[in-house]
Amino acid sequence: MALKVKKKIHTKIDLSRIDSVDHDEMSRMYSETLKSFTEGSIVPGRILAVQNNEVLVDIGYKSEGVIDGHEFKDLTAVNVGDQLDVLLDQMEDECGMVILSKEKAEQQIQWEHVIKSCAEGSTVMGVIKARVKGGMIVDVNGVEAFLPGSQVDVSPVHNVDALIENEFEFKVIKINEDRRNIILSRRDLIEERLRVKKRELLTTIDKGQVRTGTVKNITDFGVFVDLDGLDGLLHITDMSWGRIKHPSEMVRVGDSIQVVILDVDQDRERVSLGLKQRLSNPWDDINKKFPVGSRLRGKVVNLVPYGAFVEIEEGVEGLVHVSEISWTKRVARASDVLSVGDEVDVVVLSVNPEEQKIALGMRQTEANPWDTVAARYPVGTRITGQVRNFTSYGAFVELEDGIDGMIHVSDMSWTRKINHPSEVLEKGQTVDAVVLEVDSGNKRISLGLKQASDDPWNTITSRYQIGQLVKGTVSKVATFGAFIELEEGVDGLVHISQISDDHVEKVRDALDVGQEVEARVIKIDQVARRIGLSIKAKEMPDDEFIKQQDELLEGLRPGDNMVDLAGAFDEAFSGLEEWHPGEKK
């Protein structure tokens, strides 16, 4: 279809309608252009006609040339007789027409103009036109240049589209004339100007100056601040006199802040900044503000195993050691009783301005209950408490919140030898006891469990007499005899020689634990708390028993090693075979 149109234009143009042309001018134009009629060259032309979206142009060649109407922004504004430069795209097509291009001519002219006006390393102005893969297209005086994504800015640009249709200054970093490529960089210009700024700033900056900067980046250890071309580090320890966990608690990226220059390293081009130094040090005159003994209210800001740090003023913290938390409770870790954020009352115990340390106490805000414990629990007082804990040597009984008394194993039973408190007590059990001793200085109260009841041995002779027949239960069997429980806490010993008139080789052959037996009392030692029994004497008449009493007490036992009853008691009570008076197996 395009070929037919071209034929129509070529064959039907009425040359009589074309304005008369000065023949001398045309001759001159022809003589100048005939020399350059080569494809790709730019030649001057004159518009002869506009028809069917095509423009017929006379370039002084043997035939006219055609330009596609789409190459003109407004075809209605094109007039016959207008002169323009065109590029000879094709000398002759299939229809014999010369193919021209206005756009290519303009691009060629613009390219040559740009090449003449700029070189690699020079600076040009350009408008970012579009985003493409790997970068952006920039219009530089009508010529498209490429701006790689890495060369847009010194820092990543999150919204690239915001740059489109904006004019910037660029540095030409590479020109390829064969491929008509121009590579630009905006980053190089920015970096170069920043270096110049940095050098200028380093010559004027000094310690102690107050400068305004912009928060550029936030890390865990501090903040990087842009001082108009020079980055400085504001360390987290120099941000506040108080405690902060992260710099983001105080600043955000983009904030404008005033900082103090703490140090300048000219060789390494590093600057240390301070924010808290703009304020007075709260530790100045600390002794006057917080004298020893003053009572304060603060907030728990940090917990460590050995105590709690309490902020009593912004930038001023004191330590409450675990030993200073309670008068009565044994606090193993501060976190057991306190939480970060708690508001607490404290008393200043000591101040060390040089090391910036303050010792605080929480228990000092209350009266020490141990100061009055002797008045509340005088010796001889009968108390009721709950068994809270055991040790190997006794049991702790809670008298009141935080006040415990201890019952030693030796004060648990009148009749039994107690090796461990669990033999007679249970945790949580409520018991009655008597205060035996109070030591306020060492925070100790001694209690007696057995002292809360009568000693059964004080009246033992009123209940048992020599020769009396008694009944009991075998509670323990030993090699030398058996122990018979006569009543709660009172046992008697039947020596192996007193079990039977017949020879007894082993006690277990004659007696079993739990067996009920009847025996006769042959010895009572109230001081030593011992009762001797004889099973074989139970059948003796009273007068016969009286006659043989001395012989029975001699404790005859068959064998080479004769042991009397007293010796058997000594052997038993000395802990042989781990027997304890009154113990049941």
397 compared with 200, residue with greater pLDDT: 397
Structure tokens at 522: 């042959």
Domain 118-190: CATH superfamily is: Nucleic acid-binding proteins (2.40.50.140)
Give the separation between CA 552 and CA 533, rounded to whole angstroms.
10
What is the arithmetic mean of pLDDT over 104-131? 80
Q: Backbone phi, then psi, for 177, in 5-degree steps?
A: -70, -35
Does the domain at 369-452 match CATH 2.40.50.140? Answer given as yes
Is residue 575 pLDDT above 70, yes or no? Answer: no
**Is the distance from CB of 10 to CB of 64 less than 8 angstroms?**
yes
The model's pLDDT over 461-510, given as tens digits with 9 standing for 90+, comes to: 888 888 889 999 998 898 889 999 888 778 889 999 899 888 888 999 88
Residue 86: is its pLDDT beyond 60?
Answer: yes
What are the boundaries of each domain within the chain? 2-108, 118-190, 205-278, 286-365, 369-452, 456-578
Asked if pLDDT for residue 288 goes beyond 70, the answer is yes
Distance (Å) of CA 264 to CA 232, 261, 269: 9, 8, 7
Stated length of the chain: 585
Q: Is 581 left (phi over 0), alpha (psi -120 to 50) or beta?
A: beta
Beta bridge partners of 473: 485, 516
Coil vs helix vs strand at 366: coil
Residue 32: predicted pLDDT: 57
Query: Closest by alpha carbon to 167, among 191, 184, 149, 150?
Result: 184
Instruction: Report how far residue 56's alpha carbon sits from residue 65's, in angstroms, rounded to the nearest whole number.
Output: 6
Element (H, E) at 190: helix 187-204
CATH, range 456-578: 2.40.50.140
Residue 219 CA: distances (Å) to CA of 121, 236, 384, 432: 36, 9, 61, 64
SS3 at position 415: coil
By the 8 A CB rule, do 580 and 418 touch?
yes
Can you tell me which residue has the tokens 């985003």?
131
Interval 247-286: pLDDT, tens: 998 899 999 999 999 998 888 888 999 998 888 888 888 8
386 token code pair: 């709950």
Q: Give the amino acid at 403.
A: I
pLDDT for position 219: 93
- pLDDT for the residue 71: 81
CB 236 within 8 A of CB 247: yes
Residues sharing a CB contact under 8 Å with residue 232, sequence separation 6 or more, in sequence order: 213, 224, 225, 259, 261, 270, 271, 272, 273
Cβ proximity of 217 and 251 under 8 Å = no
Residue 364: burial class (beta carbons within 10 Å; 0-12, 13-18, 19+): middle
Tell me, which fold does domain 2-108 have in CATH?
A: OB fold (Dihydrolipoamide Acetyltransferase, E2P) (2.40.50)
Q: Which two tokens stand for residue 460?
A: 């033992």
Phi, psi of 221 (to 5 degrees): -95, -5
Residue 419 pLDDT greater than 90, yes or no: no
DSSP 525-577: ETTTTEEEEESGGGGS-HHHHHHHHHHHHHT--SSSS---HHHHHHHHHTTGG
Question: What local confidence, expressed as pLDDT, does residue 298 receive?
Answer: 92
Predicted pLDDT of residue 191: 85
The stretches of 292-415 forming alpha helices (DSSP H) are 373-376
Q: How confident is the model at residue 30 (pLDDT cuts 50, 70, 90)?
A: low
Determine the pLDDT at residue 519.
92
Domain 286-365, CATH class in plain words: mainly beta
Which residue shows structure tokens 């802990």? 575
CA distance 449 to 470: 29
Which position has the token pair 């141990």? 370
Please list the helix, strand and coil fractions of the chain in percent, rounded to the nearest 5, in that order.
Answer: 25, 35, 35
Phi and psi angles of residue 93, each rounded to the nearest 5 degrees, phi first: -90, -165
Query: Tell me, what's the pLDDT at 396?
Result: 93
DSSP 8-state code for residue 333? -
- Tell whether the model's pLDDT for residue 223 goes beyond 60: yes
State the number of CA atoms in the 13 A half-sphere of 296 facing the CB: 24
Confidence of residue 433 (pLDDT cuts 50, 70, 90): very high
Mean pLDDT of the chain: 81
Q: Please, are residues 30 and 60 in contact by the beta-carbon 8 Å criterion?
A: yes
Which CATH number applies to 205-278? 2.40.50.140
How large is the average pLDDT for residues 429-456? Answer: 88
E strand or H helix that includes residue 111: helix 102-117
CB of 50 closer than 8 Å to CB of 91? no
Percentage of the chain with pLDDT > 90? 27
575: tokens are: 């802990």
If you ran DSSP here, which 8-state letter would residue 369 be given? G
Query: Does 27 or 341 have the greater pLDDT score?
Result: 341
Contact between residue 324 and residue 362 where contact means Cβ atoms under 8 Å apart: yes
Q: pLDDT digits over 356-395, tens only?
A: 899 999 988 888 888 888 888 999 899 899 999 999 899 9
The confidence score (pLDDT) of residue 26 equals 58
Interacting residues of 92 by C-beta distance below 8 A, sequence separation 6+ = 63, 98
Please name which of 239, 118, 270 lies closest in space to residue 182, comparing C-alpha atoms. 118
SS3 of 35-87: HHCCCCCEEEEEEEEEECCEEEEECCCCCCEEEEHHHCCCHHHCCCCCEEEEE
